[in-house]
Structure 1
Amino acid sequence: MNGITLHLNSAVRSERIDAVSSFVGSDASGSFGIQPGRARLMTILDYGLSRFCTAHGDWVYLACPGAVLDFADNQLTVSTRRYLCDGDYQRISALLAGQLAEEETALKSVKDNLQQLEQELFRRLRNLDRWPA
């Protein structure tokens, strides 16, 4: 087997990494690993770090706020809103704790505001039904 071709896709960029010898990630069921020749797999990666090993034996860390992972025929596709890659564990951990955590907090705030707006809209619609024609 020649290895895995990793396709990283985000909203603003894509990259292809050839000759990946293994990938380690985690989903709702726990940690898992992928090596060349594995059976098809689709899952949702948790918020946090995954890692993959290049043909040279170097580990590269992948930080993302959750992602869809699809593996078939030695093609591994990771699709996410945003991702960061780095070979330095300390640096990528700091970026995950800082940059991505801030983005997730901001996104949660937007989601909360949308939920409040939706609730207010439904409340007003219910009140419209009570008005006489």
Structure 2
Amino acid sequence: MNLITLYLQSAIRTETVTDVASFIGRDPSGSFGIQPGRAALITVLEYGLSRFRTTTGVWYYLACPGAVLHFTDNQLTINSRYYLYHQDHERIAGLLTGQLAEEEKALSHVKHNLQQLEQELFRRLRQLDRWSS
């Protein structure tokens, strides 16, 4: 039986799941599935839940704030800033709306602060340019 080896990678951890029978995810074009032997694929997963089934028939739910997915030769790699996975759909959905949503909010705040810093730097550069003219 052909199987998929799933590599979950984030900035702080890496995990390998060796007995994946199928994977279902969602990218900007919609939902898609991956089974062993599928053609190579590279896409970007949307914020939300994906899922994968192991050979035991158990479904695992994967939550991430977007990710890059690469599949080739039955090797599925998912790279994300952060991810969570668990068998319990309710638990992982709750974590997605709680923990990952807080992370996204914090990241949005950091982006806003960087934009303000950039605007202030441009303002000061314009002042320096006026003084040197």
TM-score normalised by length of structure 1 = 0.97
Amino acid at match of 1:24: I
Any unmatched runs of 5+ in structure 2? none
Question: Shift in Å at residue 30 of structure 1?
Answer: 0.9
Where does 1:25-104 land on structure 2 (aligned, <5 Å)?
25-104=25-104
Change (3 A) 1:23 1:130: same
Q: Give the distance between the partners of 2:30 and 2:73, measured in 1 at CA.
A: 23
Q: Give the distance between the partners of 1:16 and 1:72, measured in 2 at CA.
A: 16
Supply the RMSD in Å over aligned alpha carbons: 0.9
Q: Deviations over 1:79-125 (max 9, x none)?
A: 11111010000000000000100010011000111011101111111
Q: Give the distance between the partners of 1:67 and 1:21, measured in 2 at CA.
A: 20
Amino acid at match of 1:110: V
The 3-state SS of whatever aligns with 1:131 is helix
Question: Shift in Å at residue 132 of structure 1?
Answer: 3.6
Percent identity (aligned): 68
How many pairs are equivalent?
133
After TM superposition, where is structure 1 displaced by more than 6 Å over at least 4 residues in a row?
Answer: none
The 3-state SS of whatever aligns with 1:33 is strand
Amino acid at match of 2:2: N
Q: Give the distance between the partners of 1:37 and 1:132, measured in 2 at CA.
A: 65
Question: Which has the higher mean CA deviation after the structures are superposed, 118-127 or 56-65?
Answer: 118-127
Check the 8 A contact 1:11/1:81 in 2, yes or no: yes
